[in-house]
Amino acid sequence: MRRLVLFAALAGVLVGTVDALQIQCYQCEEMKQDCSAPEYVVNCTVNVQDMCQKEVLVRADGIHYRKSCASSGACLIASSGYQQFCTGRLNSVCIYCCNTPLCNGPRRRRPISSAAATSNLQLTIQMLLLLAFYVMPRHHEA
């Protein structure tokens, strides 16, 4: 009975988590204007793309933007990999990650830290492992 109650509680938490994983982001490919109009809004892939990404590139002919949905892992790796190139000068490339609807819009919001994303991922993995522990049949030695 205790296992059933725990399983139901964890399943409820996981289902609630899954529902919250679809967000909307702005999406465009290397445009000179900050493509944050309604026609650029897309629904991100459920349970795969859980973040919005914004790239700001400084070129000789002006500032260019790329915006898209992204998985947290890919976005955080890209943003940390390009951090040294985010200078604000010519040929600068800045990549920002965020996890709220339309957060890659015109105003730059505070990007989430890789530590916060890692802690969310770790919590989900821990919950799944705990769930698996209680669901798996136990073998008793004779």
pLDDT at 30: 85
Task: Report the C-alpha gap between 98 and 41 in whole angstroms.
Answer: 15
Task: Report the C-alpha gap between 128 and 27 in whole angstroms.
Answer: 32
Mean pLDDT is highest, among 101-105, 124-128, 135-139, for 101-105
Token pair listed for 69: 């949905």
The model carries a pTM of 0.61
Tell me the domain boundaries of the chain: 19-100
pLDDT at 3: 43
Average pLDDT for 109-129: 51
Low-confidence winner among 5-19, 34-48, 55-69 (lowest mean pLDDT):
5-19
pLDDT at 22: 87
In CATH terms, the superfamily for domain 19-100 is CD59 (2.10.60.10)
Q: Are 26 and 67 in contact (CB under 8 A)?
A: yes
Q: Are 38 and 44 in contact (CB under 8 A)?
A: no
Average pLDDT for 30-58: 94
pLDDT at 21: 65
Q: Are 117 and 76 in contact (CB under 8 A)?
A: yes
Query: Which residues, 6+ apart, have CB-to-CB distance to 101 below 8 Å?
Result: 23, 24, 25
